[in-house]
Structure 1
Amino acid sequence: MELERTLISAFPIVLLIWMMTKKRALPSHIALPITALLVGLIQLFYFQSAGRVMGANVISGVLSVLTPISIIAGAILLNRVLAISGAEKVIGRWLDSISTNAVAQLMIIGWAFAFMLEGASGFGTPAAIAAPMLVGLGFAPLNVAIFALIMNSVPVSFGAVGTPIWFGLEALNLSPEQLLSVSSQTALINLFAALVVPILALKFVVNWHLIRRNIVFILLSILSCTLPYYVLANWNYEFPSLIGGAIGLMLSIVFAKADIGLNAAEHDLPKGVRVPFREVFTAVLPLVLLIVILIVTRISQLGIKGLLTNPQAWLGMDVGASHLGVSQSLVISFENILSTSVSWSYKTLYVPALIPFMLVVLVSIPLLKMTGRQVKEAFSETGRRVRLPFVSLAGALVMVNLMMLGGENSPIFLIANAFAKATGSSWSLFAALLGALGSFFSGSATVSNLTFGGIQQSIAEQVGLSTTLILALQSAGAAMGNMVCINNIIAVSTILGISNKEGFIIKKTIIPMMAYAVIAALVGIVLASDGV
């Protein structure tokens, strides 16, 4: 009976993967709603879930689209402003003046800069900012999308000022010492994975010959981010990616300027003409403002984060047994949807759509001296690009909500428990894959940790494994799952103007993700043998 339930639970996911990876793949805005409908039918007729609860979860899923779609729209709008105003070309010329070596450009922007952005914000911001910059430098959009997704994995465990750790594992009641142990082991696993993953990512953009000739610079750039990242993770779980990325970015630029570890290829161009400081400053100021605002609004000690997320009620009205409210910081909430315990909220000022994206856009328009026609073009192009992704994301989030419906009898937990029973005391070899599964479903390392942290802790206790080690593998797995996460693939594809390539991208990114999983498993074996 349990086997039957597990197979039926897994069928929609298998079907989704097939629909999106077959020869004539269905686009995500068709495949995901179909899968969501199938999961709904299985929940209703096989698991006999209550229709009211299912309806509430569908409503919550559709409303939840507002968070990612507003971030995507903000990122696209800022990108269009930079591109249409010419700022993107200035940044490109400045980077050319640092180094015309393709590997140097890819590592500085796609690795170190994105690493820092992930630490500051998360929410797909690194790919949203770095990927268009690389396309602007002449790299092919589809290759850049794959590259950006693979690169945006190692820093994710400590993304958005450590949210996947301190919030994602909050419900497990870990002691401060246990949480730091999870942080340290997660960073160590990711450090070893980082010695391989960026190199695999580069292969999708440049050839092995160029990688081999510049391997010293590649390793220096990798370690300049991950060594401080690991050191910081031993005493703090909020700033490893942010500070590690900032240090790595500065060192990577210094190494590139000094040609340390770089070897020119036959097709490299001479170093670009020096761009006047004033031009560079004006062009990069929107990005600097973006990062500064993100940092300032996400460090609790500064007090601004509390102002932006203040839950104290301001306005409210009852809709039957449900309650629609707005807090003093404009947090919109819909509680007890359809008289159930299902709720939804949108942090208007904290989600990085209005602040910082829209705010930076409004500052950039006069700063970059844009005309009315240019502004209209930026907004209209943004509108066109977010239509189909809205449908895709709605399908994905409804599917996730319905897959999680039922607690310990939910389809997603049945799949997870099947994994645990099949592996027993060898679970540490597969724990990271469960974390990746959570990110694949939800599009968030934080949600993956929230969803599977409890079951990972339970499995560790049942089979006699270190709880902190298994949670570290969960955390690292949630990060590597970003490579194949449908939401992230849709987001970066939308931003780069790529259509109907989601299945193709998954088939490419799953290879480095599995390499990541193997490294995580091997490091887990070593840590387990040391009694960690």
Structure 2
Amino acid sequence: MALFLSIFPIVLLIYLMVKRNALPSYVALPWIAVVVLMIQLVFFGTDISTVSANIASAIVAVQTPITVIFGAILFNRFSEISGATDTLRKWLGTINPNPVAQLMIIGWAFAFMIEGASGFGTPAAIAAPILVGLGFPALRVAMLALVMNSVPVSFGAVGTPTWFGFGPLNLAESQILEIGSMTALIHSFAAIVIPLMALRFIVSGKEIRQNLGFIYLSIFSCVIPYFLLAQVNYEFPALVGGAIGLLASIFFANKGIGLAKVENTLDNKTTTFGEVAKALFPTGLLIAILIVTRLQQLPFKAMMNDATTWMSVQLGSLGTFEVSQGLIFSLKNIFDTSINASYKLLYVPALIPFVVTVLIAIPVFAVSGSKTKDIFVGSFKQTKNPFFALVGALIMVNLMLVGGDNSMVKIIGKSFAEATGEYWTIFASFLGAVGAFFSGSNTVSNLTFGSVQLSTAEITGLSATLVLALQSVGGAMGNMVCINNIVAVSSVLNINNQEGAIIKKTVVPMIVYGIIAAVVALTVIPMLY
């Protein structure tokens, strides 16, 4: 019964979002949160203070994804209204009008690099609107962006899912490096197939075959440096691989290498170097700020994460409200429990870089006061529905994690492991994907299921580093069906009530990804490690 009631909310959520006349996520997710709440109170007998504390924690935690979404929407609205997007659209057409070239440069290589710098679903939020501006249909672009943004994710935000996600397991440095090495190998094999499946959402099989040379040049120019760097480092593979791949992809497209010639249907007006430089200024500034604030070798990352208490106020039974010197807002000991929640104002990629970039770029583009007001007001309005969806999602997740080893999430994980035994290698990545599906993060999936995966490996005698690598790969491939990411990219592209339709399509490449992961784990990795 415990297993049934643990799985039931997830199954019900999927049904509500993919059935005919599906419910939008901002309706379905809060209702599922209520269902989980009732199960916790009635079946698991969780005390009301723990439940209340987790709900309060979710309301604080939701500020992270919702402010990132707001920042991305703000940046994209500014780019549209200022004319920067239109200039980039014309310029990309002059590099090469071939749609496959445009999709690989922006949807694959550019997003790969942004994932390495930031994570948090930022790549899809930045790359997808540029593709829509080039004339690609929004719903299909959302699907492509979600599927493309999988290979680099285990090393997203300078490797956070790997070094922080497995942090609580107290692994040796050499083990974390080996996990990263295996993870990159599995992702590299998946990259041979997954980008083609993503392209298929937008272009025909014939177009893919005609441009296969360029597609693989673009893929390998990202993946080869990514894989090689992962053998010695677990922070920069995606960032460096994406940067090299982006430059190489633009070079190959400019020369027409591996690409079929197509008629240029874009505006034939040539853009000057000055116009292109100005249009690229906001995106360049955005990337520069992301990189500077996330390199551990520079002081800014430590400053933005400084948890030294600056001020503290007791808010009655609600808990202790603290502000740190790094402007981390925390609510501690919520309702006299050990539950805490925080929001890193400076480190979460919202105020910095999105809002700061827009504020700097407004005078550069001479955007009027009335248009600036429209940009901000419109962005706030567009975040209303995602806010309700994400509050529901985070309350659901928090309540499913209540109970430690006896939590609903751990019950699901242990039951899967017990059912498969020594064949767990085949299924390990899918548990990681389940974690990403409802938590919205490869990092949170690794934090949640890392201990289950490690204990399963120890019980069954499987390689612990291999099983944890499969967990990390699973958390990355789960990005394709992750509710938070789907809500985010849909919000940025202003797509309404299509979350279920997106999941129906993106679940197929996710399953293929899991099969590739299992095959590589069973055949290739034993020969190399």
Mapping for residues 177-326 of structure 1, pairs under 5 Å: 177-265=174-262, 268-269=264-265, 272-320=268-316, 322-326=319-323
**Inter-partner Cα distance in structure 2 for 1:316 and 1:339:** 16
Give the counterpart letter for 1:279 in structure 2. E
Residue 394 (str. 1) matches residue 409 (str. 2): no
Asked if structure 2 preserves the Cα contact closer than 8 Å seen for 1:161 and 1:239, the reply is yes
Supply the distance in 2 between the matched residues of 1:256 and 1:238 (Cα, whole angstroms).
29
- 2:129 corresponds in structure 1 to 132
In 1, Cα distance between the equivalents of 2:240 and 2:525? 29
Distance across 2 between alignment mates of 1:236 and 1:36:
39
1:104 aligns with 2:101: yes
SS in 2 for 1:307: helix
* Contact 1:111/1:151 (8 A) holds in 2: yes
1:13-58 CA deviation, whole Å, 9 max, x = no partner?
Answer: 1111100000110011111011000001001000101110011001
The answer as to whether partners of 1:101 and 1:264 remain within 8 angstroms in 2 is yes
Could you tell me how far 1:319 is from its partner in structure 2?
2.3
Say if 2:106 and 2:131, in contact at 8 Å, map to a contact too: yes
Q: Is the contact between residue 100 and residue 270 of structure 1 (CA under 8 Å) also seen in structure 2?
A: yes
- Distance in 1, matches of 2:12 and 2:267, equals 50
The answer to whether the Cα contact below 8 Å between 1:113 and 1:246 also exists between their aligned partners in 2 is yes
Q: Quick one: distance in 1 between partners of 2:487 and 2:307?
A: 31
1:148 to 145, 148, 166: 145
Partners of 1:319 and 1:80 lie apart in 2 by: 38
Q: Which runs of 5+ in 2 are unaligned?
A: none
Q: Is the 8 A contact 2:26 2:389 kept in 1?
A: yes
User: How far 1:528 moved relative to its partner?
Assistant: 5.3
2: distance between equivalents of 1:341 and 1:270?
58
Query: What displacement does 1:529 show?
Result: 3.5
Contact 2:6 2:412 in 1 (8 A): yes
Letter in 1 for 2:285: L
What CA distance in whole angstroms lies between the structure 1 residues aligned with 2:528 and 2:489? 41
Distance in 1 (CA, whole Å) between partners of 2:289 and 2:9 is 41
CA distance in 1, matches of 2:269, 2:95: 10
Q: 1:476 aligns with which of 468, 473, 489?
A: 473
SS class of match (1:54): helix
SS in 1 for 2:152: helix
Counterpart of 1:205, as a letter, is: I
Are the structure 2 counterparts of residues 105 and 34 from structure 1 closer, same or farther at C-alpha, using a change threshold of 3 Å?
A: same
Secondary structure in structure 2 of the residue aligned to 1:300: coil
Aligned AA (1:406): G
Letter paired with 1:286:
P
Distance 1:183 1:158 in 2: 8
Residues 1:381 and 2:359 are matched in the alignment = no
Q: Distance in 1 between matches of 2:95 and 2:267?
A: 7
Structure 1: distance between partners of 2:243 and 2:304: 25
2:408 maps to which of 408, 411, 421 = 411
1:300 deviation in Å? Answer: 1.6
Give the equivalent residue in structure 2 for 1:343. 340
CA drift of 1:264 comes to: 2.2
TM-score, length basis structure 2: 0.98
Aligned partners of 1:100 and 1:269 also within 8 Å = yes
Give the structure 2 partner of residue 160 of structure 1.
157
Q: CA deviation at 1:323?
A: 1.0
Q: What's the CA shift for 1:376?
A: 1.5
CA distance in 1, matches of 2:328, 2:267: 49
Question: How far 1:274 moved relative to its partner?
Answer: 3.6
- RMSD of aligned C-alpha atoms? 1.1
Residues of 1 paired with 2:272 and 2:499: CA distance? 40
AA paired with 2:522? I
How much identity, in percent, do the aligned residues show?
A: 55
Letter matched to residue 316 of structure 1: S
1:320 Cα deviation from its structure 2 partner: 3.1
1:439 matched residue in structure 2:
436
Indicate if the aligned counterparts of 1:466 and 1:528 stay in contact, CA closer than 8 A: no
Instruction: Give 1:329's aligned residue.
Output: 326
Match of 2:504?
Answer: 507
Give the aligned residue type for 1:314.
Answer: W
C-alpha displacement at 1:112, in angstroms? 0.2
- Return the offset for 1:308: 1.1
Distance 1:79 1:531 in 2: 44
Map of 2:111 onto structure 1 = 114
CA distance in structure 2 between the aligned counterparts of 1:215 and 1:191, rounded to whole angstroms: 17
3-state SS of the aligned residue for 1:236?
coil
| Alignment CA distance shift 1:270-1:450 (3 Å) | closer
Amino acid at match of 1:312: T
Contact 1:9 1:415 in 2 (8 A): yes
TM (norm. structure 1) is 0.98
Shift in Å, 1:275: 1.6
Aligned to 2:357, which of 357, 360, 363? 360
Task: Work out whether residues 90 and 267 of structure 2, in 8 Å CA contact, stay in contact via their aligned partners in 1.
Answer: no
The DSSP-based 3-state class of the residue aligned with 2:297 is helix
Tell me, yes or no, if the aligned pair for 2:180 and 2:230 is still in contact at 8 Å: yes
Q: Is the 8 A contact 1:403 1:411 kept in 2?
A: yes
- Tell me the equivalent position of 1:493: 490
The corresponding residue for 1:7 is 4
User: How far, CA to CA, are the matches of 1:158 and 1:84 in structure 2?
Assistant: 33
Contact 2:428 2:471 (8 Å CA) reproduced: yes
